[in-house]
Amino acid sequence: MPRPMVWVRADLPSELRADLWGYCAALVVGINRVDVEPDENGIYYVGTERSAVSGPGLALLAAVIVQRLGRRPGDCAFPLLSSLDQAEVVPPAAA
C-alpha cells in the first residue's frame, strides 16, 4: 500500500518550512479534494509561494495543524504545481 512521503527544501526559512509541513500534512489527509492530478509517479508538487487562506479546504486545515503544533501560522495556502520543472522555476535575483 502506498505511503505518503514529503520532502521540504532545507534552504527555506524555518517558518516557511513549518507552514509547508502543515500544508503537506493537510494534503495527505484531504487528497481526494484536490483538483490537480499527480504526475505519472503519483507525486504532487507544492510550490513555496504562500498566500492567504481564503476559505475552507486544505489551506485552512494546514493553518489549524500548524497552530496545533504551537506556531502562529502565516499564510498557509500554497500552489499545487503540475511538474517538477514548474517547481524548479526560480525568479532571477534582484540587481
Cα Rg of the chain, angstroms: 13
Its pTM stands at 0.77
pLDDT at 39: 82
pLDDT tens, position by position, 69-84: 888 876 889 998 877 6
Distance of CA 18 to the CA centre of its chain: 10
Per-position pLDDT tens, the chain of length 95:
777 788 888 888 888 888 999 999 898 887 666 677 888 888 888 888 999 998 888 899 999 999 998 888 768 899 988 776 665 555 544 44
Contact 6, 17 (CB under 8 A): no
